[in-house]
Amino acid sequence: MSQNNHLDAAWQYHSGTKHSPLSIRMNPHFLDWDNKPLLFKIYPTLEVMRLPRDFQETGRAALDAIAAPPRQAQGEAIPNLETLAQLLFFSAGVVRSKKHEQGETFFRAAACTGALYEIELYVVCTDLPGEPIPGANSPGLAAGVYHFGVAEFGLRQLRAGDFRQVLVEATAGDPAIAHAPVTIICTGTYWRNAWKYRSRTYRHFGWDNGTILANLLAMSEASNLPAGIVTGFVDSQINELLSLDTKREVAFSLVSIGYQQSTPSGSPQIVPLDLPIVPYSNEEVDYPAMRKMHEASSLDSAAEVIAERGKTPGHDSVPSKGTTVSLQPPIDDIPADSIEKVISRRGSTRQFSRQSITLPQLSVMLDRATRGIPADFLDPFGSHLNDLYLIVNKVDGLAAGAYVYRWDEKLLELLKPGDFRDKAGFLGLDQPIPADAAVDVFFLADLKKILERYGNRGYRAAQLEAGILGGKLYLAAYAQRLGASGLTFYDDEVVNFFSPHARGKSAIFLVALGRSVTRK
């Protein structure tokens, strides 16, 4: 039996990885630059098939693509190889690089804690049409299991043949997976992020996977492909399909892409692959707390997977006590830059200018980011696990203060007025970014309710949802030529600040929004 219902595991992990001013002072961490991990997973013995890069822009406005309702399958929707390449590039590809004293950082399409890029992507697909690519035996992409080689922008084939039935079984017959010509599996590699963040990395799996998924969902929508996130699966079956060394790397989420009438009927046998991998570092440090959390949130059987679906816990509807302000999205003049353009220019703001943004701009970000996520744990569509609390520093048309976002009514309820810039800087781990931003959006969740409903698996879901919402906020900001940055925070101090309204909740994530200082 799995330990999914032994909720002490999630509470222990969460409490044990909280930041506080004291914990930061008592446990300083110095980065061992000589042991910095390689940021790419490379299978040196496998040929790489380079993917085409001459993408045709979808032209779909980013602000539409991130907010569209789930696309209902209308006939076959099978991506060709070129579209698959485009989805991978704009979700996790290298979009720019920067040289510095320690070497060169290759920045990717989605934001990631510390630019350490611990999330790997794998493709499991049927035969896909397309032009011939160098290194492949036939045009398009042959059915198989592939690793996305970000460094080369290519695919390495781990297994030849149609293995989609393994996914169908692992997800207890999830209908979207069963009809998907392509499923993308996202994994987390502990050491690549733990080098800097130690045990807190398991939270980052959710955040950093989430920002990738925000891009992937938007790009799928822009490519007219249905897409859905599946977090309920028998872990060992997916990990074995990828032949992962689970002490170091584990499957975290699946995304079904496209629709096909037929479903797979069987799969070739799965044998361990035992493939060498270029070492990440001279030595890796193990942080057992993360593996413990992962194991305790792993599912062992189809029955457990089915029990994870839907039935999203509701949110207590507390009547508003304070002043409320309705969102005011503009009716016209909404920026229409394409999703590709917006992803290409996105980058985390390193310094905010303290200038104001407008209430309509904030409204666009909140409205578009919160229109719902197609995920197996969220039912009905539009339900959510995280609540949004805001510190408004400078927004024209909105008094400075602390607010809670009343999601269903699209209202901001004032919890306390005042200038909280210094407080925001403190809560965001004493960094200037949240103090200088126009608005800070804190994600808080009622973990008690979530864990009672989903078991420890709910912890993964809460972190992942926050990352997706955060990723959407990033895109909605950059679509309006504003800036954004994900941030870490002092856990209990955040909850205390927003209490009594937030009492009993847990701090999950933070995104700062505003105007970036433009560097010459």
Ligand X SMILES: Cc1cc2nc3c(=O)[nH]c(=O)nc-3n(C[C@H](O)[C@H](O)[C@H](O)COP(=O)(O)O)c2cc1C
Amino acid identity of 9? A
Binding residues for ligand X restricted to 112-131, rule: CB under 6 A: 112-115
211 touches ligand X (CB under 6 A): yes
CA dihedral 149, 154, 156, 160 (to 10 degrees): 140
Residue with token string 């973990």: 447
Size of the site for ligand X (CB under 6 A): 18
Smallest separation, CB 488 to ligand X (Å): 4
Q: Residue 108 is encoded by which pair of tokens? A: 């990717």
Say which residues have a Cβ less than 8 Å from residue 424's Cβ, sequence separation at least 6.
391, 393, 434, 435, 437, 440
Q: Which is nearer to ligand X, 105 or 224 (CB)?
A: 105
Say which residues have a Cβ less than 8 Å from residue 144's Cβ, sequence separation at least 6.
124, 125, 157, 158, 159, 160, 161, 162, 163
Binding residues for ligand X restricted to 335-374, rule: CB under 6 A: 347-348
480 touches ligand X (CB under 6 A): no
Q: Which is nearer to ligand X, 107 or 407 (CB)?
A: 107
Write the interaction track for ligand X spanning residues 488-507; mark x where CB under 6 A is met and - where it is not: x-------------------
SS3 of 304-362: HHHHHCCCCCCCCCCCCCCCEEECCCCCCCCCCCEHHHHHHHCCCCCCECCCCEEHHHH
Segment contacting ligand X (CB under 6 A): 124-132, 164-172, 205-213, 237-245? 205-213
Q: Which of 91, 485, 506, 516 binds ligand X (CB under 6 A)?
A: 485
Smallest separation, CB 214 to ligand X (Å): 10
Q: Which residue's beta carbon is nearest to the bound ligand X?
A: 486
Q: Which of 67, 87, 111, 362 binds ligand X (CB under 6 A)?
A: 111
Calculate the CA 151 to chain-centre distance.
20
Binding residues for ligand X restricted to 215-244, rule: CB under 6 A: none
Round to whole Å and give the CA distance between 516 and 346. 12
Q: Which of 146, 207, 252, 377 binds ligand X (CB under 6 A)?
A: 207
Handedness of CA 39, 43, 47, 49 (dihedral sign): negative
Q: Which is nearer to ligand X, 90 or 207 (CB)?
A: 207
Write the interaction track for ligand X spanning residues 298-337; mark x where CB under 6 A is met and - where it is not: ----------------------------------------
Q: Residue 124 is encoded by which pair of tokens? A: 């499991």
What SS3 class is residue 84?
helix
Residues that bind ligand X (CB under 6 A): 107, 111-115, 207-208, 211, 347-348, 429, 431, 433, 485-488
